[in-house]
Copies of this chain bind each other. A is one copy, B any other.
Amino acid sequence: MKLYGEDNPAPNPRRVRIFLAEKGLTLDHERVPLRERAHKATAFLDKNSLGQVPVLELDDGSFLSESVSICRYLEGLHPQPPLFGTSPKEQATIDMWIRRIELQLMMPIAHIWRHTHPLTAGLLTQFTDFGESNRAHADRVYHWLDQELAKTSFIAGEAYTMADIIALTTIDFGRFIGVPIPDDCAHVTAWLARVGQRPSATA
């Protein structure tokens, strides 16, 4: 197997690296330089027609994309320690939280990135009013998440899971582009300290 990815701050390849670190796995790795638009080159589109990283090349020569799906595949091959849960209820709860973090928190941060940031200005038509409106949206979501994290130690309950990996990479990318955790979200800040001190967080 071989992993195609990119260095930080690209958040999606980092998800897979943290997952591998938590599992104690290593993979052959090839960098796809995003600033050189290598992910949109024909040779890479043969690996993922959407032109996105990460991509996993399987031993049978086929390719798998989408960071969460790559991690699900690796979990199937290496179930311990479980990061997607074991019982149907655990698995569904972790899946729910992955979706909540992506659909609620990652989306406004992605819109701020695409529609307001100088680094993306040449790549698409920016609708800056729309992009800026997502700062208030992200703020609301952070306060909702803060109330949820008042009840549990980790995103999906009392165990560290894939949902924490999604949240960490999303929140760190938000901080990189100027969307900090609101000062009064003490539970999110405490959670970040908790997951940020794990060795995998440096991946």
Which residues of A come within 8 Å of B, CB atoms? 49-50, 58, 62, 64-66, 68-70, 72-73, 75-77, 87-89, 91-93, 95-96, 99-100, 104, 115, 125, 127, 129-130, 133, 144, 147-148
A88 & B76 in contact (Cβ 8 Å cutoff): yes
30 contacts between A and B (CB under 8 A): A49-B144, A49-B148, A50-B100, A50-B104, A58-B89, A64-B96, A65-B96, A66-B96, A68-B95, A68-B99, A69-B92, A69-B93, A69-B96, A69-B99, A70-B92, A72-B91, A73-B89, A73-B91, A75-B88, A76-B87, A76-B88, A76-B91, A76-B92, A77-B88, A125-B133, A127-B127, A127-B129, A127-B133, A129-B130, A130-B130
